[in-house]
Chain A
Amino acid sequence: MSDRVQGYAEAMLAVATAEGDIRGISDELFAVGRAVDTNDALRDALSDARLPAERRIQIMDDILDGKARQATKGLVSMVVGAGRGGDLGKIATALAEKAASSQDKQVATVRSAVALSDDQRNRLADALRAKLGTDVDVKVIQDPSVVGGLVTTVGDTVIDGSVRTRLNRLREAL
């Protein structure tokens, strides 16, 4: 990743650390980043230099209103106001990796059709630690295309237990 992305991620990690809620803020920023990455219209709007910064910030405030911590909203406004809204996904990913690394963990990106409870996230983290031999910070992405089950990515390792993959295998077998 570029130095600029790393720089924003470092700044966000410092703010989250100062707020004493690295995991919560990191999770919310990760979700925002995913939303920006998967929504072309939103990404284009946040990257549009012709749009006043106030307008771009207002868009994100409206989206996050009542759904995210104030610190998260402030960090998003900072990035969008600086004209780097299109890089939010990369910055959030870098932040997640830095946050995990600061705690000697690796980021485990988990795609699921439904949200996971805190208990399931904790047990999943324990199971991944037992299997991979390293602590992980679980980041959940809700992805309806998974259909059911989970797909976990830790570094280059992918553990696929999704219904989508089973359906694909069945399709190939047919």
Chain B
Amino acid sequence: MFALMNLLAAEGPNGRFIPSDPWELFWAALAFLVIFFFFVRRGVPAIREALDKAQASAVADATAADQAIAESKAKVAAASAELGDANEQADQIIAEAKDTAAQLRVDAAARTQQLVDDMWAKAQSDVAGMRTQASADISAEVASQAMGAAEEVVRSSLDAGGQNDLIESYISGLGA
């Protein structure tokens, strides 16, 4: 700073810091005062107004920011609450699903057991029926074979005399 001042002073006509002409000081002071007066009258209010506006804007911005932060916090809280509810519901759904699955397993096992029991009973019934049918078929076949043989024997043994005896027996039977 001093180096700069010395440099400026060296430029003066008298080689000193203070101007050699006192009127320069006067006009400089007057110019300063005029400028200062206009600065105070016009510049300061404008600056104050601008500062007030800036301050108000800053305050408004800060308020808005605070409000936004509050809203965000509220949203976060709501989201957290919803998330909590969702988690709770998810846990509940999972629990219900587990219960339902367990019940379904029990029901399916019961149905399967019932199905097996029914099939077993039907199989036993079918076997019994088949056994009865087979027995009846065998009996019928044996009877048919026996009757066929008996009929052959009867036919071969029924000569004219035998036929005549049967007819006479029939006629006698009618009169009895």
Contact = CB atoms under 8 A, between A and B. Distances in A.
Interface of A: 112-114, 116, 120, 123-124, 127-128, 130-131, 147-150, 159, 161, 163, 167, 170-171, 174
Interface of B: 139, 142-144, 146-147, 150-151, 154-155, 158, 160, 162-164, 166-175
User: Which 9 residue pairs across A and B have the least CB separation, nearest first?
Assistant: A174-B143, A127-B174, A161-B170, A149-B166, A171-B147, A148-B166, A150-B170, A114-B163, A127-B175
Contact of A116 (B142, B143, B167, B172): B167
Contacts of A148: 154, 158, 162-163, 166
Contacts of B146: 174
Contacts of B168: 120
Contacts of A159: 174
Contact of B174 (A130, A147, A170): A130
26 contacts: A112-B167, A113-B158, A114-B160, A114-B164, A114-B167, A120-B167, A124-B170, A127-B172, A128-B174, A131-B174, A147-B155, A148-B162, A148-B166, A149-B167, A149-B169, A149-B170, A150-B166, A161-B166, A161-B170, A167-B147, A167-B150, A167-B154, A170-B150, A174-B143, A174-B146, A174-B147
Nearest to A126: B175
A147 B154 contact: yes
B175 A113 contact: no
Contacts of B174: 124, 127-128, 130-131, 159
A13 to B, nearest CB: 28
Interface residues of B: mostly helix, strand, loop or mixed?
helix
Given A113-B158, A174-B139, 12 more contacts: A114-B163, A124-B170, A124-B171, A131-B175, A147-B151, A147-B154, A147-B158, A149-B170, A150-B166, A150-B167, A159-B174, A174-B146
